[in-house]
Amino acid sequence: MEPLNFKPRDFVHLHLHSDYSLLQSTIQLKPLARRLTELEMKACALTDYGNMYGAVSFFNAMRSEGIKPIVGYEAFLTFGSRFDRSTALGAGERAYYNLILLAADLEGYQNLVHLSSKAFTEGFFHKPRIDMEILAERSSGLIGLSAGIDGPVGHFLLNGNEQKALSNAKLLEDIFGAGNFFLEIQDHSDERRQKVTADTVTLSKQSGIPLVATNDVHYLNQDDARAQQTLIAIGEGRTVSDGSRDTSSAIRYLRSAEEMWDIFGAELSESLTNTVKIAEMCDLDIPQGDEVRQLPNYPIPVDSGYSTIDDYFEKVLRDGFEDRKRTEWLPMIELGSLKHSLEEYEERLNIEIATIKKMGFPGYFLIVWDFIAYAKDQGIPVGPGRGSAAGSLAMLNGSRRFGENWNSHVRHPGHPLSPSAQSAVHRA
């Protein structure tokens, strides 16, 4: 992107949740981009709870409005092992602590993807958790924020344990590196939490770790607070009380730069200018498009005799085709019930194989084949799929386990993969 040319009293939201934080936020990405434009904000971060599902959509929505996207997420950090499922905790401890992670560059983005994935596959226990070990391994290219009162610093300040808060802050600074970790301060409406802000300022002076101001945004406009309260109630299985209709005191909306400067500018202006500093530190361009498609590699079985994914993909389809021909189609020919000739089906399969190879999606189809086959082996119900790719001969013949009654779903063999089939993998 072009240089942003920040002005002296600009501000960047670095702690913001979208509706990809399920039942926590009402913010949709395109309206967010429009509102940021109205507020003349030049950059913004996305930090959804525990996931990066909205990262690419957010990146593109911001870019389309000329706004610098800062990709991140709000991680759940355990000081134990992410593999531990014990509920035993020491006095004053939490099972996990919130931590804001932002990608400064492509390496940082890739590390975020790794961390958020491992949090689910290795660390999930009530929440998708990471631990200090994997954070230290994957901290390169990342900027960390302490995440307010639910973080590893704010929690202990809230409970009067300043020494533990300082120890955790220094530990995280060591992991991210000096200048890459910031102590987060937020505006709070109650005295106890306001004291945490004051204690965080004191801690910053003691440790030399810089401050950064955020607003932990969960809804776009102040009067959207009621809708966000309703989402929370749905998630918690309760009703919304009548007393919560007043939104005049709601503060977790997308505040303007002027509002943030009115709150922190008089005494803590550095916490505001640091938001701009962090935005300038971040220089991420997510590779997109057919030439740099980000798909996982499907591991070719070592005993298959094939060395390329294209060849193994074709082998799987040809084997499935011959199996189905022998067990289903030849008997149907004898009964006169097969709608099309075997030659038509084979010609259609050849077209599909060539198309899928040209698109670079053999690995994708093999991955789908693998988990659908597993589901059927485990007795997990599998439907016929969605879209014309799901009704292709390639999907039908990849394995008998894709479905025994799919003949009614297969497109006419004279019709090659439609444009929607060619883009179906992008929608999946």
CATH number assigned to the domain comprising residue 277:
3.20.20.140
Q: Is 113 exposed, middle or buried (0-12, 13-18, 19+ CB in 10 A)?
A: middle
Query: Do 408 and 421 have their domain in common?
Result: yes
Shared domain check, 132 and 58:
yes
Residues 275 and 333 in one domain: no
Q: Are 327 and 372 within one domain?
A: yes
* pTM of the complete model beyond 0.75: yes
Residues pairing with 77 in the sheet: 97, 130
Q: What's the pLDDT band for 276 if we cut at 50, 70, 90?
A: very high
Does some domain include residue 223?
no
Co-location of 281 and 412 in the same domain: no
Residue 147 lies in a domain: yes
**Which residues pair with residue 49 across a beta bridge?**
74
**Residue that is written with structure tokens 């883009």 in the block:** 423
CA distance 42 to 229: 29
**Phi and psi angles of residue 287, each rounded to the nearest 5 degrees, phi first:** -65, 130
Q: Identify whether residues 197 and 283 lie together within a single domain.
A: yes
In a domain, 239, yes or no: no
Q: What is the Cα–Cα distance from 162 to 30, expressed in whole angstroms? A: 41
Angle at 251 between CA 249 and CA 257, to 5 degrees: 130
> Does one domain contain both 386 and 301?
yes
Domain boundary among 238, 269, 288: 288
Task: Please report the pLDDT score of residue 391 as a whole number.
Answer: 63
Q: What is the pLDDT of residues 12-42, one digit of tens each?
A: 999 999 999 999 999 999 999 999 999 999 9
Check whether residue 274 and residue 343 sit in a common domain: no
Helix (H) or strand (E) holding 56: helix 55-64
Task: Please check whether residue 251 is in contact with residue 215, taking contact to mean a CB–CB distance below 8 angstroms.
Answer: yes
Q: Is residue 91 part of a domain?
A: yes
Kindly tell me if the per-residue pLDDT of 422 is higher than 90.
Answer: no
Q: Give just the sign of the alpha carbon dihedral 256, 260, 263, 267.
A: negative
Same domain (yes/no): 87, 113: yes
Final residue of a structural domain among 265, 288, 311 = 288
Same domain, 91 and 170: yes
Distances in Å between the alpha carbon of 148 and those of 128, 184, 193, 326, 338? Answer: 19, 6, 10, 64, 66
Per-residue pLDDT tens digits for 41-90:
999 999 999 999 999 999 999 999 999 999 999 999 999 999 999 888 88
| Same domain, residue pair 203 and 87 | yes
Residues 278-307, mean pLDDT to the nearest whole number? 85
Is 329 a domain residue? yes
Same domain, 280 and 399: no
Specify the number of domains making up the chain: 2
Domain, as residue range, for 74: 29-217+254-288
